[in-house]
Amino acid sequence: MSGEVMLVKGLYTHGVVFSKNHPLTFLGTYEENSQVRIEIDQDGHRLYDDIHQVSNQGKLYAKTIKLKASYKEVAVKVTTKNTTESFVGYVGEVYLGAGQSNMAYALKYDNHFDEILAQENLLKGIKCFSVADSLIENDVIKRPLEPLSDFIKHATWIDSSNPSFSDYSGLLIMLGLLHQKIKDYPIGLIDVSVPGCSIEGFLPIETIENNPTIKSYLEENGFLKYPLSTINDYTVASGIYNEKIAPIIGFPIDQFLWYQGEHHVGTNREYDYYKEALKRLIESYRVLYQQKVPVILIYINQTYYPQDDNYSVSRINLAIQDNQNIEDEIYAIPTYDVIPTWKNSHTKGIENPIHPTNKFYIANRIHQVIHKQSSPVLVTEVRVLTHAIEITFDQRLKQDKGLVEGFTIAGDDHIYQPAEAQLINQNTIILSSRFVDHPVYFTYAFQLDNHSFTLKSTKGMPLPILHSDEDLSRGRYYAYYGYEHFSHLDYFETAFDPLYGTPRIKPLLFLGELHHNRDLKIIKGKHHIQIHYQASAQRDYKERFGVSLDLSKTGFQLMFSSFKKIELKSTFESKDEVAFLGLLFKDVRNQVWLVKPTSHNKVDNEEVYELDLCEISYADLNKETIELSKYNQIKQMELVFEASDNAVIELVSMIHHL
């Protein structure tokens, strides 16, 4: 190592932020067994001046003094017999952010971009450091096979005066902004995220080699082949760790934030692997850093992936949730309850449904947990009763609106039904269903589209995803409707598919449980869908109820301008008249719209309705007497019926016409 004299490239440059909770620490690569002098000044006073020994491997690891957090500049000079390095830094808090593209997603694409840039005084206290990909040959990114002691490329700390500030992680900057509102000292943000990456890229190779669960999974899936390759397909074992984490091991941090998992959505096998890999990642980093750094784990967005089997994303979020340990300062942050947006005036054609542009609420929840203003909700007790399940939580709960939705229960047959949930004593939920005599298992929010589930703590933290059944292939979700007996060309909707990045043709999806009515039961046959409406008591008035249609697994609203009309065929069985009132839905601005049937005919015992999508107007809604408050949870589309007695409605077909 003779002749190389340097601190870690870029890390020790003007604007660096040191942790107020630890001694100022210096890392570098120097001549073996040499000596390094470190001088620290503040306000014209010499606070520290001492000599540190470089190891016989040429490594400098020097702890100096602990200083109070402030905006006062700290002048540092590091000298050897031949060289001098000088820079000015600050003392505050340091957050390390890691993960995939949602951690890396630039501030300039966020819905709050303009609002954030306007807060210039607060932004001045945010210092950002990003570790770029270093090994690029012929446009191919590669990863080193051994841990590096230094960065290959030189980087610097930047602030809001730098033009590239808006390219930095939006989530981290928003978190820094919230920090600045309550703290009178700087915050340093270090981003080591890699879009599209896998978790094994962040694991030290020793962790992989010494863990049978992790190693066997990677070998079975071809992600751990010997000799190891440097070519980056985002799954190079330990590659990201070697390049971006290893050089700063020992530089004290105050929070470790992890926002990753999209790469791993899949089966129960992926759940087992990801749960174990995440656990070992946290353990290994704490050992290497020699500090019990608090950890924030962020749920990935509940959106569609091509390999989805209805529960794939929920499994990853459950693996994240299962790693939470409040006593050990590991916190999981749910994100499923807020409808994601993908497009705004800043995205300019780069929209992708796996990249929400509204992440400020995530930053706010993280901020509240870090500063003890809120905490994740915990289950303290589960009691399986004769005809119900009782779940007690550690905090008082509140339901924002309407019924408590999102719970399902099942008996020993593992057949799940939407549960009727009652909130009692502000912290206990009683679950039951007329279709499950002896419930044993339960789930909460364990499905793809669960944005309507609004049960939260009184401080605004959503309940965690819950699943008490060991078999994570079980649950209650949507089923394809029409797939078996309609061609895709006649019966389809256009949606964005992240796998291909282009519109794909998909069959229409029927979703009976998204906005469940406790009086409804959905029976799905191969060639039909039956809606059984069971009146809880004889009524002398007609009650309106709805069943949901999921027209896009991606979160995009259907572009109605692409279609001319919808044709619905159904049959009704009831002692009293059953009426089809129309199609109710919310647009991306959360406005509620209604499409009424423009024609109604009876053909061969089938009720045939046509809805002219060109006639949609907000004004129509004001003329309708539907109690809209009952349907204010609608996120996509809902067929609305009216009946006063028990009824069976069979949907024969529903076809969109261009």
State the pLDDT at residue 636.
54
In the chain (658 residues long), the average pLDDT of successive 10-residue segments reads: 69 96 96 95 96 95 97 96 93 97 95 93 94 75 87 88 95 97 96 94 95 94 78 80 94 97 90 97 95 96 64 91 97 89 80 84 97 95 95 91 80 87 92 90 80 83 92 51 24 28 31 43 63 64 62 36 61 78 60 74 82 56 45 56 78 60
- Residue 584 · residue 594 · CB < 8 Å: yes
Q: State how far Cα 222 lies from the chain centre.
A: 27
- Residue 187 · residue 95 · CB < 8 Å: yes
State the pLDDT at residue 581.
76
> Does the domain formed by 479-657 have CATH 1.10.287?
no
Structural domain spans, the chain: 92-370, 379-467, 479-657
> What fold is seen in the domain 92-370?
Rossmann fold (3.40.50)
State the pLDDT at residue 561.
39
Tell me if domain 92-370 and domain 479-657 are identical in fold.
no
Structure tokens at 28: 């570098």
Structure tokens at 215: 């190693």
The amino acid at residue 452 is: S
State the pLDDT at residue 553.
37
State the pLDDT at residue 267.
87
- Residue 341 · residue 153 · CB < 8 Å: no
Q: Record the pTM.
A: 0.75
- Helix, strand, coil shares of the chain, percent, nearest 5, are 20, 35, 45
Pairwise CA distance, residues 235 & 472, whole Å:
25
